[in-house]
Structure 1
Amino acid sequence: MKPYVKQDPWSIIEEGFDPQKQEISESLFSIGNGHTGQRANFEETYSGSSLQGSYMAGVYYPDKTRVGWWKNGYPEYFAKVLNATNWIGLKLIIDGTELDLATVEVTDFRRELNMREGFLKRTFTAKLSSEKRVHVKAVRFVSMARKEIGALSYELTPEGFSGRLELDSYLDGDIKNTDANYDEKFWDPVDQSVNGMRASVTVKTKKLDFHYCTVKETEIQQNGSYTPIESTPVLRDKYAGVRADIALKDGEATTIYKYTAHVTNRDHRKEELQGKAEQALEAALQAGFSQLQKEQAEAWETKWLDSDIVIEGDTAAQQGIRFNIFQLNQTYTGEDARLNIGPKGFTGEKYGGSTYWDTEAYCLPFYLATADSRIARNLLVYRWNQLGKAKENAAKLGFSKGALYPMVTMNGEESHNEWEITFEEIHRNGAIAYAVYQYTDYTGDTSYIEEAGMEVLVEISRFWEDRVLYNKRRGSYMMLGVTGPNEYENNVNNNWYTNRIAAWTLSYTLETLTTWKEKQPELFAKWQKQLGITDDELNKWDEIRSNMYEPYDEETGVFLQQDGFLDKELMAVSELEAKHLPLNQNWSWDRILRSCFIKQADVLQGLHFLNHEYDEETKRRNFDFYEPMTVHESSLSPCVHAVLACELGYGAKAYDMYLRTARLDLDNYNNDTEDGCHITSMAGTWMAVVQGFGGMRVRNGELHLNPALPEKWNGYSFKIVFGGARLLIRVSKNGVTVINETNQSVELYVNGSRITASANQEIQAG
């Protein structure tokens, strides 16, 4: 499908209504606040194709695993983020005709996601009959300032007639996940009630006993003043609504305001839910819609102050990066260490809404550089809190010690049920360890390692010790039967990236322990006692990391993705006819596995992570070898290639990869945006600009910038929060400017030269 959203620097705009694009738009125009989220479903009835989606962070269901052949070690369930109570619903019958955009004639349709101020606006005209038209303007948002509040206004103006509106304003908790394994509904009713124009629905999950209470109030405004309305209740299990009959006058607007509070027993006691929801709702009603919307704009202004990226001369690129940043900020706020970043965020149900290695590999750098350090720290705390479950995961697979973090999880327990991923894609452990390194090096904060991180590193290292196999013939340690980041290769031996990140983890753990032994021997002794660390164990780790087999080809000078990779028929993607792409929609899995084609960065993922350990020529040889064979059929692929291409001076390739990741969903590159947006890969878009074009690296606690200006841009700027300061970096054809927007002085390197950015100072750095 061709791109259809209008290019605009601050908004996502759709002009004209096409039912064939509705589910894509529902994803693109989603809203959220880190606590709740809502797909861009219509408030009024829509009988066309739609994925209704209202989501609550942290509330999930253990949907029983469904596989054709059960294997020992499989998880019992797949964790599903729950499609929850529909709070936006309005049933509107005007003079006997229901307002349904699938059945009435629609003109002047316009939908806008205002990213600067964080709201969704929709306008259209509906032709009800040859004489009757009604204009509609709908605005809604979920509040960044009041996390449990959602609000909408829905304005109707008749044209050419006066008549009657039969309104049902409702809450519907009788919702089913589209991805339910056994077509099961996950919610049971608890309570539903109506009092005047107020309604509430409380439901609970059939397992795990999550309770979710929604309370809403409906107000009607006509001629600029609120109109008392008589209503009747509509009640059934998991459903509560109010029905009212309202007079409509030709040319006069009637506005329906709907205020909603959402609370769960994650945050409040079950017996308090109704009261807490009522309390939050009352405060929102006292504020009113205009004040709530003002608070929303102010909250988003603060978000953009720290995280905005400005691109001059390229509207498509500008819109893409802001859309990605917007979705990241509305998916995760970092206020709750029990939460993480699902691959689809609040935009859809695919992948279960659970935590993947994407968080550590792609998302952490964004939150490190654009927010207070506690936000990123909470991502690490999330993993530490689940360390016990990670140790259980390792034990379930037959390991005697150590922790294996899950590929997919909500509570730390593995819930992915494809054997080649669940059992073999163990490189995910390395991303958890790398996140500890990244956070500590970037912030200089060692408290996480002291309090929790060392235990995580030790248990991951113990897993690697148990997982490797010593090959006497080669005198090396190996890892057999693994799946690397390139999931178009399964059950291979000695995936270079997996072996390399395991050896690096052992090295980092040993080096960190050595440092603390020298600087804080008391703390080292405490760790030895609490974690049972022995000298024999440390010696074993040293032996493994020093003798890890890392496949390498002398003739080509490249690291081999795995043993036997060069036995394949090697060819570039460009040699394939277009009809073959994407491979995952046109080839059998057998054919894909036998081919040389690569789903996403694999060897190059290692060179991206451990960038400082390899010289430019090594990176170039491997990039030139592997990138031509990469089909980028993972959303996580283009960003890594963009960063490396920038470093290697491949400007055109870097720009192409950037645009592909920035507009992946906006332009529906992979024909799957209807399932939801690719939230975690959006962090990769930020990486492509800041680490790619901006050349940002942190090495040994020092900030380095080596900016380059893409040919199609007149200039660009980005923000970095580092060392207690917020820096604005501007790159133009005239050079690089560094502006310190805070009172905290900070030192950094620009193109290799050391500079000091004093408080509130602007420096021409090149």
Structure 2
Amino acid sequence: MLNYSKRVSDDLMQWVVAEEQFSTLTLGKCEAIMSLGNGYMGLRSATEEPYIGEKRNLFVNGTFNKFDEEEVTELPNAADLTRLDLRIDGERFSLEKGSFTGYSRMLNIRDAELTRSFDWESKDGKKLRFTFRRFVSLHHKHAIGMRMEVTLLQGDVRLSVGSGIDGQMNNSGSQHFHEGEKRIYDKTYLELLQQTTESKVTFVLHAAHSHKLNGAELNLAPRMEIERRQVAVKYELDLCEGDTYTFDKLATVYTSRDLEFSGESDLSTIRSHALEQLKALHDQGFDEMLSEHQKAWAEVWRDYDITLKSKNEFDLLAVRFAVYHLVVMTPAHDRRMGIGAKGLSGEGYKGHSFWDTEIFILPFYIYSNPRIARSLLEYRYLGLEGARRKAKENGFEGAMYPWEAAWPSDGEVTPVWGAVDIVTGEQTKIWSGFIEQHISSDIAYAVWHYFKATGDQEYMDRYGYEIILDTAKFWASRLEWDEEHGRYHINEVIGPDEYKEHVDNNAFTNYMAHFNISLAIQYCDELKEKRPELFAELNSKLGLEAARPVWEEKLGLIYLPQPNEQNIIPQDDTYLQKQIIDLTPYKNQSKVGSLFDDYNLDQVNNLQVSKQADIMMLFLLLEDRFQPEVKRANYNYYEEKTLHDSSLSLSTHSILANDFGDEALAYDLFRRAAEIDLGPNMHSSDAGIHSASLGGIWECLVMGFAGVRMLGGELHLNPRLPQAWEELSFPLYWQGSRLQIRIDRSGIRIKSSSADVIRLKVAGKPVSFEGELELPQTSGAQPIS
């Protein structure tokens, strides 16, 4: 059972996610939602003692490897550092033996620390109190700290603690590492080297232990063990009633792919540096490391200063939970890496990056930390190599971005085969990597969004223009001429709604391709007129002189599905002709995907049912291109046919519901989005947290209830708080200025960090100010009619 309102202390109110009942049948939930990380690495929060069904995952961002030619590249599960072999009087310790009371496992979001405690009684009546603490350092990105305290409450025991580095890990059966070198230095410092089988990334892992008895340093001689893919030590001691034994373990993780070793560093250099760092941390100790880590997180919360006064305490906790995971999953340290669909919290989606980043996560960073937003977009620039290769392999020009991306140069890494077909019993082919192509324009859109919000001309000159222009070349070559209608179509695709495969003229895909090409024409002309040297450089690389007239000729002939007599835009050529069924049982489902208990994908393809927001995405990304009555009609039509079986969907519909003045539905959808990971479903996060949904939670607050939008290069604010909220405050960067925006029932207050004049529109009315602005609520939001 999970508790989201646990009263630990006054200063930790709405900062704690707690588990208060332990079950080996639901291990994955807490392992994922309580996972730790710092962007460099992510550590799934499996318990120290092992259980059947657990998933012990340690991922280092960017270290992708392919098991063999029949599988796709994935983040390899590195050696385990967290498991302890605990024995009480010779018997292996487990919560499945004896009895326990006072159980609590907590993720302290404020300090990014995991704790677990309980009192345990053996079958012999001996009672022990256990407390475990763990953190992945934000101050030292290579370090992990762990502590176990054991207090003997009744009786005397012989305690044995086995600990080490276990390289016998795999990714659901796929072994990514060769047998590595193992060593123990000075009976204290454990070392294990691993190298990935195909990508040849070397991992260098170290660990060291220290002990205290009743607060005094304790020297224990270990029994050293080196086995296949394992190096470990075992300590034994006798405890008397009243004794408290403290066991600390500090570990470090380095790889040959780390930015600091990206030059000519050989293994001996990495190895000696890593060992030196471990020794320094060992001398420093757990407490000082934790203090530095807490200070680093305090800075995070100062930077992302979101406050929310709600009648429901869960709301603020959910927002903080989202920001916490956005921080721990994002490789802010290295532009060569993206964000996985499960962050670094589980094996789901193999650590690959999707359009999730650009559409659902990037806005958080654009408006909260533009430096990191730029790094994520530089990752996409580095990915042009793979995108160009994919385009060429498919017979197209320009840059065709992979649906799933790993290391920038890898190209397309989407698996070909997926789940079983319930009707045929055969494995289902995954078509996304072949025909879900809107990601190329999604990335171009994200570049444009970042540039308009930040004014980062240097990024555009070095990276952004090239992405937009080369993706436009892809789309121009992808268009198919329809002689009968005298226009260009985009056939045989999958749009955002992945329940509709092999469709023609998916509206989202067509509109976004049109946007991409239109933007390329605009920038091509601007560069030629105002930046001839840069134009010449890009022309030499991309052939713009030849591409420009092709774009011009094709742009006006791209088929853009228009509203019918009922103002409904067809999602694709055949959606509105498909069968309509009663979706009530599936709209009220307790788990996603229940539709497939009754239908296979081919059958679903012939129903008017959507997995997620599709047409609706256009009303968020290109909202100023559609009339209010068209948006409203389509929302009413498609919302009832959307099952929200994708975690990407609820936040989009929440934002649009708020736009239409349906505050109750908007708030309900926000809560449902927040409960994807934090809700009562104890298996929703087994494969890892839902990174796009977490970005969507922030979008609900800022783009939804606060009404923040970038439209045509202008900042818009049109707030409408739900009834449960009294006040919302958040930072927002705009054109280099940091704004602190506060919205409550009395009005809007904005403070700027710069002396520049800030211009924006509030509820559609132009406003400009310097320093500070205060507006009464009467000038606030108007719903879209």
The reply to whether TM is greater than 0.5 is: yes
Aligned to 1:220: 211
1:287 correspondence with 2:299: no
1:275 counterpart (253, 272, 275): 272
Q: Compute the displacement of 1:147 (Å).
A: 0.2
Aligned to 2:484: 473
Q: Compute the displacement of 1:218 (Å).
A: 0.1
Q: Distance in 1 between matches of 2:43 and 2:518?
A: 44
2:614 counterpart (569, 577, 602): 602
1:509-545 CA distances to partner (integer Å, 9 max, x unpaired)?
11111122222223223322232222x4212112222
Asked whether the 8 Å contact 1:39–1:53 carries over to 2, the reply is yes
* Counterpart amino acid of residue 247 in structure 2: I
Q: Compute the displacement of 1:101 (Å).
A: 2.1
SS in 2 for 1:441: helix
SS in 2 for 1:322: helix
1:32 correspondence with 2:33: no
2:407 counterpart (408, 411, 428): 411
Aligned to 1:69: none
1:18 correspondence with 2:50: no
Worse overlay, 193-202 or 152-161: 193-202
Aligned to 1:309: 306
SS in 2 for 1:622: helix
SS in 1 for 2:67: strand
Change (3 A) 1:337 1:667: same
Aligned to 2:583: 573
* Counterpart amino acid of residue 143 in structure 2: I
- Structure 1: which 5+ runs fail to align? 67-76
Aligned to 1:643: 655
SS in 1 for 2:86: strand
* Counterpart amino acid of residue 318 in structure 2: G
SS in 2 for 1:728: strand
- Please list, as runs of the form range in 1=range in 2, the aligned pairs for 1:662-681 lying within 5 A after superposition: 662-667=674-679, 671-681=683-693
Identity across matched positions, percent: 29
Aligned to 2:555: 545
Change (3 A) 1:4 1:585: farther
1:393-428 CA distances to partner (integer Å, 9 max, x unpaired)?
1122232x2221101121241011245211110111
Q: Distance in 2 between matches of 1:246 and 1:744?
A: 66
- Please list, as runs of the form range in 1=range in 2, the aligned pairs for 1:234-245 lying within 5 A after superposition: 234-245=225-236
Q: Distance in 2 between matches of 1:458 and 1:679?
A: 29
Asked whether the 8 Å contact 1:53–1:84 carries over to 2, the reply is yes
1:328 counterpart (301, 326, 351): 326
- Please list, as runs of the form range in 1=range in 2, the aligned pairs for 1:72-83 lying within 5 A after superposition: 77-83=71-77
Q: Compute the displacement of 1:143 (Å).
A: 0.5
Change (3 A) 1:529 1:600: same
Q: Distance in 2 between matches of 1:167 and 1:383?
A: 46
Worse overlay, 725-734 or 493-502: 725-734
Q: Distance in 2 between matches of 1:524 and 1:299?
A: 43
Worse overlay, 223-232 or 27-36: 223-232
Q: Distance in 2 between matches of 1:528 and 1:716?
A: 47
Q: Compute the displacement of 1:589 (Å).
A: 1.8
SS in 2 for 1:341: coil
Q: Distance in 2 between matches of 1:249 and 1:384?
A: 62
Q: Distance in 2 between matches of 1:703 and 1:554?
A: 32
1:217-264 CA distances to partner (integer Å, 9 max, x unpaired)?
100011212111111211012211111222212122111010111000
SS in 2 for 1:60: coil
SS in 1 for 2:285: helix
Asked whether the 8 Å contact 1:192–1:237 carries over to 2, the reply is no
Q: Compute the displacement of 1:148 (Å).
A: 0.3
Q: Compute the displacement of 1:162 (Å).
A: 2.2
Aligned to 2:181: 191
Aligned to 1:487: 498
1:110 correspondence with 2:122: no
Change (3 A) 1:530 1:23: closer
1:748 correspondence with 2:760: yes
Asked whether the 8 Å contact 1:716–1:730 carries over to 2, the reply is yes
Q: Compute the displacement of 1:20 (Å).
A: 2.2
Aligned to 1:457: 468
Change (3 A) 1:700 1:593: closer
Asked whether the 8 Å contact 1:504–1:545 carries over to 2, the reply is no
* Counterpart amino acid of residue 32 in structure 1: G
TM-score, with structure 1 as normaliser: 0.94
Aligned to 2:10: none
* Counterpart amino acid of residue 544 in structure 1: K
Asked whether the 8 Å contact 1:30–1:40 carries over to 2, the reply is yes
Change (3 A) 1:419 1:578: closer
Asked whether the 8 Å contact 1:427–1:484 carries over to 2, the reply is yes
Aligned to 1:253: 244
Worse overlay, 665-674 or 492-501: 665-674
Aligned to 2:696: 684
Asked whether the 8 Å contact 1:165–1:246 carries over to 2, the reply is yes
Q: Distance in 2 between matches of 1:530 and 1:579?
A: 52
Q: Distance in 2 between matches of 1:308 and 1:6?
A: 21
1:55 counterpart (20, 38, 59): 59
Asked whether the 8 Å contact 1:17–1:106 carries over to 2, the reply is no
Q: Distance in 2 between matches of 1:288 and 1:3?
A: 32
Change (3 A) 1:696 1:162: same
Asked whether the 8 Å contact 1:633–1:670 carries over to 2, the reply is no
Aligned to 1:70: none
1:626 counterpart (620, 623, 638): 638
Q: Distance in 1 between matches of 2:440 and 2:229?
A: 41
Change (3 A) 1:744 1:152: farther
Aligned to 1:616: 628
1:530-567 CA distances to partner (integer Å, 9 max, x unpaired)?
32222x42121122221111223421212110002221
Q: Compute the displacement of 1:585 (Å).
A: 4.3
Asked whether the 8 Å contact 2:116–2:133 carries over to 1, the reply is yes
Q: Compute the displacement of 1:140 (Å).
A: 0.7
* Counterpart amino acid of residue 711 in structure 2: R
Asked whether the 8 Å contact 1:757–1:763 carries over to 2, the reply is no
Q: Compute the displacement of 1:64 (Å).
A: 3.9
Q: Compute the displacement of 1:601 (Å).
A: 0.8
1:268-289 CA distances to partner (integer Å, 9 max, x unpaired)?
3322222121122123223322
Q: Compute the displacement of 1:306 (Å).
A: 2.3
* Counterpart amino acid of residue 138 in structure 2: M
Q: Distance in 1 between matches of 2:750 and 2:430?
A: 49
Asked whether the 8 Å contact 2:331–2:338 carries over to 1, the reply is no
Asked whether the 8 Å contact 1:394–1:403 carries over to 2, the reply is yes
Change (3 A) 1:100 1:703: same
Asked whether the 8 Å contact 1:497–1:603 carries over to 2, the reply is yes
Q: Compute the displacement of 1:14 (Å).
A: 1.2
1:392 counterpart (375, 389, 393): 389
SS in 2 for 1:154: strand
1:180-230 CA distances to partner (integer Å, 9 max, x unpaired)?
xxx332111221111312211111111111111111110001121211111
Asked whether the 8 Å contact 2:676–2:684 carries over to 1, the reply is no
1:525 counterpart (536, 543, 551): 536
Q: Distance in 2 between matches of 1:572 and 1:609?
A: 30
Q: Distance in 1 between matches of 2:209 and 2:725?
A: 48
Q: Distance in 1 between matches of 2:198 and 2:587?
A: 49
Aligned to 2:341: 343
- Structure 2: which 5+ runs fail to align? 7-12, 417-428, 778-785
* Counterpart amino acid of residue 563 in structure 1: D
1:267-316 CA distances to partner (integer Å, 9 max, x unpaired)?
23322222121122123223322221111111111111222432212212
SS in 2 for 1:324: helix
